[in-house]
Amino acid sequence: MNTGLTQAFRLRHPIIQAPMAGTSTPALAAAVSNAGALGSIAIGAVDAEEALRQIRTTRALTNRPFNVNVFCHATPAPDPDGDQSWIDSLRPLFDRFDAGPPEQLRDIYASFLTDEAKLQVLLEERPAAVSFHFGLPTPRQIAALKTAGIVLLATATSPAEGQAVQAAGIDMVVAQGWEAGGHRGVFDPADDLRLATLPLTRMLARQLTIPVIAAGGIMDGQGVAAAMMLGAAGAQLGTAFVPCPESVADEAYRQAMAGPNAHRTQVSAVLSGRPARGLENDFMRSADPDRIAAYPRAYDIGKALNAAAKAAGDDGYAAHWAGQGAPLSRIMPADQLVRTLADEIDRAANIFRSDETNRAVGSNVGKNHPSRQAAP
C-alpha cells in the first residue's frame, strides 16, 4: 500500500503503534516494526541515559525503522502556593490508605525543549523517526534533527496546531481526536477544541500538504481504512496495543481493559496535571479539578497516591490510559495484531472494490451493504 507514511519508512502497512510512556516497550516497538508497520518507543518520561538504552535495545531487536517520541511541554513556572493547595486537597485521599502526601512537588520530567542531552542522543543514534507531543520543539532542534536525516512527526488536535506543525517544517502530522487514549497532545490545554478524530482528520487532510496520520478511537483495520477514506496516510493506534504481551501494562490494567467498564473512559487532568483519557476511576471521581497543580508536578503526587493505594490493594488511582475504543481491544501478540489489522484493511478496502464490480456487472449482490441502505 502506497501512502506518504508507508513510502517514508518503506512500511508494508499504514500503521503506527503509538508511543506510550510507561506502557510501550522496545519489545513492542520492535515486534510492530518487524511485522511491517512502524513501532514507537516513548522517551518523554525518562532521562537521556535511559532513552539511549531504550533506543539501543530496540535496535538490537529490529533492523526496521522505528519512531522515538518526546514531550515538548512548556516547563511550568514555580508555584509553591498552587502546589501546596493541590497537596492539601489530596491529603484526605492519602488518609484513606494511612499514607501522607509528599511535602513538595517535583518537575519529574524535563521537557525536550530544554533537554540538550536527549537531543544529542537522538542526533547520535539517528532513529528513522522522532515524534513530538504537547507542542513543537525549537527551530534549532528541528533543523538539527532534519539535518541528521530523521523524519519528524508531531501531534495536532486542531487546524491551527496542524498549520503550526506544517509551518515548522515537520514532515507529518498526527491528528489526535478527542476519543484518543492517553494525554492529549494539545499545545495549550486551556484552548482545547476537543475535535473528534473524524472531523479533525478530514480538516487537516484538506488543509495541509504533509501526510496526516489519524489517531483516536481506531482499534481495527476497518477504522484504519475509514481514516484513509478521509484522506489520512495511515493511522496511529495506542489503546489497541495496550493488551499485547509486549507492553508493560500490569495485571490490573489488563483486567480493566477487558472488563465491563472498559467503555467508561474520561478525559481528566487530575492524575497528571494535563488532560488525558483513561478508564474512569476513583481518583478522577473524588479529586477537586479546580485545584490541580501544573504538569508534570501534579503527576509526581498522582504517582505517589497511586503507589499508596496500590500498596493497600486498591487500583482505583492508577493511570489506566485508554481511548473510547477500549472495549474493541483484542489480546494478541503485537505481530499478530499487525497482521490482523492488515487483513482487515484489505477486506474493508474490498467492500468498495466489490461494490464497483457489482455496479459494473449490474449485479444485486451487496445491495444490502450499509452504504447503500443509507442512500435516499
Q: How far apart are CA 224 and CA 232, in angstroms?
A: 9
Residues contributing to the site for ligand FMN (CB under 6 A): 18-21, 23, 42, 44, 69, 133, 155, 176, 179-183, 215-218, 236-240, 242, 321-323, 325
In the complex, what is the shortest distance from the CB of residue 274 to ligand FMN, in angstroms, rounded to a whole number? 11
Q: How many CB atoms lie within 10 A of CB 198?
A: 17
In the complex, what is the shortest distance from the CB of residue 184 to ligand FMN, in angstroms, rounded to a whole number? 8
Q: How far apart are CA 347 and CA 345, in angstroms?
A: 5
101 vs 177 by CB, closer to ligand FMN: 177
| Neighbouring residues of 250: CB distance < 8 A, sequence distance ≥ 6 | none
In the complex, what is the shortest distance from the CB of residue 251 to ligand FMN, in angstroms, rounded to a whole number? 15
159 vs 278 by CB, closer to ligand FMN: 278
Q: How far apart are CA 303 and CA 299, in angstroms?
A: 6
In the complex, what is the shortest distance from the CB of residue 178 to ligand FMN, in angstroms, rounded to a whole number? 10
87 vs 342 by CB, closer to ligand FMN: 342
In the complex, what is the shortest distance from the CB of residue 188 to ligand FMN, in angstroms, rounded to a whole number? 16
Tell me if 245 sits within 8 A of 204, measured CB to CB.
Answer: no
62 vs 247 by CB, closer to ligand FMN: 247
- Chain CA centroid to CA 22, Å: 12
Q: How far apart are CA 49 and CA 125, in angstroms?
A: 12
Our CA angle for 251, 254, 255, nearest 5°, is: 85
In the complex, what is the shortest distance from the CB of residue 323 to ligand FMN, in angstroms, rounded to a whole number? 2
11 vs 87 by CB, closer to ligand FMN: 11
187 vs 321 by CB, closer to ligand FMN: 321
In the complex, what is the shortest distance from the CB of residue 95 to ligand FMN, in angstroms, rounded to a whole number? 29
In the complex, what is the shortest distance from the CB of residue 182 to ligand FMN, in angstroms, rounded to a whole number? 2
Burial readout 314-326 (b: 16 or more C-beta within 10 A, e: otherwise) = bbbbbbbbbbbbb
238 vs 302 by CB, closer to ligand FMN: 238
Amino acid at 278: G
Q: How far apart are CA 102 and CA 87, in angstroms?
A: 8
101 vs 185 by CB, closer to ligand FMN: 185
Q: How far apart are CA 323 and CA 144, in angstroms?
A: 34
| Residue facing ligand FMN at closest CB distance | 238
- Per-residue 3-state assignment (H helix, E strand, C coil) for 94-154: HHCCCCCCCCCCCCCCCCHHHCHHHHHHHHHHCCCEEEEECCCCCHHHHHHHHHCCCEEEE
